[in-house]
Chains A and B, each alone.
Chain A
Amino acid sequence: MKILHFFITKIFLKRWILVLSMVALLFLANSLSFIAARSIISTFQGYQDVAVFNQEGNFIANLDPDHEAKFDKIDVKDTQKLYDYLNDNYTYAFQADGFGAVLDNEHDMELSFSYINEDAYRINQYELSEGNDLYFDYQVDENQIPVLVGAGLASTYPVGSTIETMDPVTQRVVNLNVQGVLEKNTHRSNFYAPDSKNYFNFAILLPVNEQFIQRAGLDLHVNGLMDLVLLDSTKEEAADLNEYVQENIGLKLNFFSQQENFDYFEAYYANSIKIICAITFVLLVILVGLATWTTLTSVRLMIKEFTINLLVGLSYSKLRTIFYSYFGMLFSVILAVLFIVIAFNRYGYWIRKDAVFATYGLFGLISMDWLALLMVLLINLMIGLTIVELTLRKIKRIPISVGVLQ
C-alpha cells in the first residue's frame, strides 16, 4: 500500500498532464461502450415486451410507409364503422398512448392518458404495486371509469380516490376511479422500434370497451389502428381487414405474421446490432491504441523512476500489481463520473417534466443502465489487462542499466 501510494503521488501524478489525457481517453472509451451496451440491452428488453404479442396466429398492424396516408380525409363515422366491423368479426388487442392531459400532481408533470382494451390488458399482464386489476364491463355514461395510475401519481391519486377531469379523446368530463397503481417503470415498447419505450409512471391507464370506442373521437380511433394486433386470426382474415380499412378510410395497413416479424427483426435489428458492435469495436481499438500510446509515452518519461525502484528490489510482479491498482483507480474514477452523467441525464427528464421518460431507480438509474454499466466494467477489465500487459512488456525490454543511466 505504501509503495502504491509512493508510485501514485511521486511518479504518476507528478506528470498530471499524462494522467489527465489518459482519463479523457478512457472516459471516451467508457462512454462509447455504455452507449452501445445500453442500446443493445434496451432493444432486447423491447423485443421481449413485444414477444408477448408476436405469437402464432397474431397479426400486428403497421402503417405502410410506401403508401401516402391522408389523415385529414378520414371521418369519424368511417372509423366508427370500421371498429363496429372489427368488433363483429375479429378479436383484437388495442392500445393507444400519449394523449396529454393537465391534472394536478406533486411533481407538476404533464400527464398522459393511455387507452387499452381487455385483450391487450390481459396479454400485457401489467404488474400492480397496490390495488386491483381493471375491469371493462362499465357503462361510460353511468358509472365511474376504473383506471390504473402510474407510480408517480400514487400519492396524489391513491387507490379508491376519484378524479374528475376532461377526457382528451371523448372531450367530455369523466369521473375516474383509481383501481390500482402500476409498478414503477411500467412501460410499453414500440412494436417496430423496440429500443424506444413509453414509461407509464405519470400515465393514467383507461380501459376501453365497445361503448367507450363509440364515444371516442377520431384521434383514438386512428391511433389505435396503428398498433392494432389481430388475435387468433389468419392471413386471409388479416388481408380482408386490410382491404376493408383501405376501402373505408383510405389507409394502407400491413398486418405482419409472427414469421414476418421474426424476419423483419432479424433483418433490421440483428443487422443494426451487428453494425453497432462493429463500430464500437473499431472505435474501442483506436481509443485503446491511443491510451496504450499515452501509457508507453509515460513509461518513456518515467523509466528512470521505474528502473531505480527495480534496482532496489521492486519485483516485476509487484510492479504489475501497482499498475493494475493504478488503472483500477482510474477506471473507478471514470465509472463514478459516468454514473453521475447517466444519473443527471435521467434526472434531466424530471427537470424538463418529460412524463414519458421520467423513471424511478436506484440512484436514478434503471435496470438497463446498471446492466450497461456492468458491461462497461467487463470491457474495462479487458482494456486494463491489455494496457498493463503491454506496458510491462515495454518496461521489461528496457535493460535496467539503460534506465539508470537516463
Chain B
Amino acid sequence: MKYSLFRFSDVLEAFGIYLMCFTSNLLLVYVQISNVEVASLLEGFIESIVDYRLIISISLTFTMIVFHYQFLNRKKTEISCRILVGDTREGIITRYMLNSLTILMFSFVASLLLGLYLNVIGTSNLYLVFIFILYILVSAGQVTNK
C-alpha cells in the first residue's frame, strides 16, 4: 500500500462496507435455503424479506458508491499535491484500483470463510464482486484534482 491514497481508517471503512454487503447477502441466501421449521407467521415475514434479496443486496452496495464518491472528493487536494511533486494521474489511478481490488479481495475471502461456516456456497456473492469491480472502474475515472 505504498504511496496509496488509502489510510488505515479508509481501508477499514471500505473493508467493513464490503463485508457488510457480502454478509447480508450470504445471510439472506442462508435463510432462503435453510429449511428451519418456524411458525407460519414468522415464515411469511421472512419470506417477504428474502423474496427481495437481490434488490436489498444491490441497494446496500450503494453505500460503496458513497464511499468511493466521498473518498475521492476528500482526496482531491492530496492528488493535486502528488501530481505537483512528480506523480502521474495514471500512476495514482492504477494504485487506487489495485488497492481497492485488494481490499475487495480480502473481504471476499472473509465472506467465503463465513460462507463455509454457514454452509452456503460463497459464489452466491460473485455477482456482488462484479458490481463492486464496476464501481471501482467507474470511480477510477473520478481520480482527479478538479
**Interface residue ranges, A against B (CB under 8 Å):** 15, 17-18, 20-21, 24-25, 27-28, 31-32, 35-36, 39, 43, 193, 195-196, 268-269, 271-273, 275-276, 279, 290, 293-294, 297-298, 300-301
Q: B45 touching A17 by the CB < 8 A rule?
A: no
Q: Identify 12 new A-B residue pairs, CB closer than 8 A, beyond the known A27-B59, A35-B45, A290-B63.
A: A18-B66, A25-B62, A25-B63, A39-B45, A193-B41, A195-B40, A268-B39, A268-B41, A272-B45, A290-B20, A290-B60, A294-B63
Counting residue pairs across A and B whose Cβ atoms lie within 8 Å, the total is: 70
Q: B59 touching A24 by the CB < 8 A rule?
A: yes
- From B20, B46, B63, residue with most partner A Cβ within 10 Å: B63
- Complex CA gap A276/B49 in Å reads 11
Main secondary structure of the interface of A (DSSP, over half): helix
- Chain B residue contacts of A195, Cβ below 8 A: 40-41, 44
Near A by CB (< 8 A), chain B positions 65-116 give: 65-67, 69-70, 73-74
Q: A43 touching B41 by the CB < 8 A rule?
A: yes
- Complex CA gap A294/B63 in Å reads 7
- Complex CA gap A43/B40 in Å reads 11
A43-B41, A269-B39 known; A293-B63 Cβ under 8 A? yes
- Chain A residue contacts of B33, Cβ below 8 A: none
* B9 CB–A CB distance under 8 Å: no
Expressed in whole angstroms, the minimum distance between the Cβ of B76 and any Cβ of chain A is 11
- Chain B residue contacts of A25, Cβ below 8 A: 59, 62-63
Q: A17 touching B41 by the CB < 8 A rule?
A: no
Expressed in whole angstroms, the minimum distance between the Cβ of A23 and any Cβ of chain B is 9
* B56 CB–A CB distance under 8 Å: yes
Expressed in whole angstroms, the minimum distance between the Cβ of B26 and any Cβ of chain A is 15
Residue of A nearest to B58 (CB): A24
Residue count of chain B within 8 Å CB distance of chain A: 24
- Complex CA gap A27/B60 in Å reads 11
- Complex CA gap A44/B45 in Å reads 15
Q: B48 touching A35 by the CB < 8 A rule?
A: yes
Expressed in whole angstroms, the minimum distance between the Cβ of A345 and any Cβ of chain B is 11
Q: A39 touching B44 by the CB < 8 A rule?
A: yes
Expressed in whole angstroms, the minimum distance between the Cβ of B31 and any Cβ of chain A is 10
- Chain A residue contacts of B66, Cβ below 8 A: 17-18, 21, 294, 297
Chosen A-B contacts, 7 in total, with CB atoms closer than 8 Å, are A24-B59, A24-B62, A35-B48, A36-B45, A39-B48, A269-B39, A294-B66
A27-B59, A32-B49, A301-B74 known; A21-B65 Cβ under 8 A? yes
